């Protein structure tokens, strides 16, 4: 079983009206879909929106597809309950994702840069098929993949985690540095080149995780 974090990039023809409004409004940053379902072409979701209630409500006012909604103000934004009819693009996306052996794991991020980020879990061949099908409609980037079930950003392997932990323990990340890569290698009982590679890859994965969550 594998996991993959993907970023879907929409253009002016495939982006939804609400998503386009989030991109255009200086008062809206992103929407984090926490859960939902689709039944007979009607989608019901609950989400957290970083931004102003009035700015988001202005996007809903003239949309006939919106059946009902409710907002609850909170720090940095508000919680949203929304029921809406899905347009052609929404139906197409759901059809692609509706595979027996693939799970879409919340949260799903609707970003102001025009992208949607989500995590998929399933068998390798099925994930590849879903990603290929998505790529036929929108531009898609694979942010990370894992050979296990995970949803917490770019995974750091067990060996990389041990190497990073060891480097921290011997003061490799202190400023100024207490010990160099040779000490890390000695503690791990590996060659210096191996220790260096483990740290580089672990650091790269940790940084990618950080930016995947925050950008």
Structure confidence at residue 215 as a pLDDT band (50, 70, 90): very low
Q: Encoding tokens for residue 155? A: 């995974």
Instruction: Give the span between the Cα atoms of 69 and 16, in whole angstroms.
Output: 17
The 10s digit of each residue's pLDDT in 10-41 is: 888 888 889 999 999 999 998 999 988 888 88
Furthest-apart CA atoms within the chain: distance in Å: 66
Q: Among 7, 211, 4, 3, which residue's Cα sits nearest to residue 110?
A: 7
Q: Where are the beta strands (DSSP E) in 76-205?
A: 77-85, 102-111, 115-122, 139-146
pLDDT at 214: 47
Q: Encoding tokens for residue 118? A: 């989500």
Q: Which helix (H) or strand (E) holds 178?
A: none
Q: Encoding tokens for residue 194? A: 């191996």
List residues bridging with 110 in a β-sheet: 31, 116
What pTM does this model have?
Answer: 0.68
pLDDT at 151: 56
As a whole number, mean pLDDT of residues 143-166 equals 75
List all residues 6 or more positions away from 132 whose beta carbon is below 8 Å from its beta carbon: none
Q: Which residue has the tokens 């190497």?
A: 163
pLDDT at 209: 61
pLDDT at 94: 66
Structure confidence at residue 161 as a pLDDT band (50, 70, 90): confident
Q: Encoding tokens for residue 19? A: 């998503």
- Sheet containing 66-74: order of strands: 66-74, 77-85, 42-51, 28-39, 102-111, 115-122, 2-9, 139-146
């Amino acid at each position: 079983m594998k996991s993959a974090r993907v970023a879907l990039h929409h253009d002016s023809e495939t982006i939804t009206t609400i998503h386009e409004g989030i991109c255009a409004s200086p008062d809206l940053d992103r929407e984090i879909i926490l859960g939902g379902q689709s039944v007979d072409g009607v989608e019901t979701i609950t989400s957290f929106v970083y931004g102003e209630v009035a700015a988001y409500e202005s996007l809903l006012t003239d949309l006939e597809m919106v059946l009902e909604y409710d907002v609850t103000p909170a720090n940095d934004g508000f919680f949203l309950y929304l029921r809406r009819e899905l347009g052609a693009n929404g139906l197409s996306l759901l059809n692609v994702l509706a595979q027996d052996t693939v799970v879409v794991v919340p949260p799903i991020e609707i970003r102001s840069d025009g992208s949607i980020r989500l995590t998929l879990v399933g068998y390798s061949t099925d994930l590849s098929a879903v990603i290929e099908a998505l790529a036929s409609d929108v531009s898609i980037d694979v942010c990370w993949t894992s050979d296990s079930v995970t949803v917490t950003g770019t995974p750091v392997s067990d060996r990389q985690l041990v190497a990073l932990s060891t480097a921290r323990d011997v003061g490799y990340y202190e400023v100024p540095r207490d010990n160099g890569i040779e000490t890390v290698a000695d503690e791990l009982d590996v060659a210096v080149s191996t220790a260096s590679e483990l740290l580089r890859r672990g650091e790269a994965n940790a940084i990618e995780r950080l930016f995947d969550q925050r950008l």
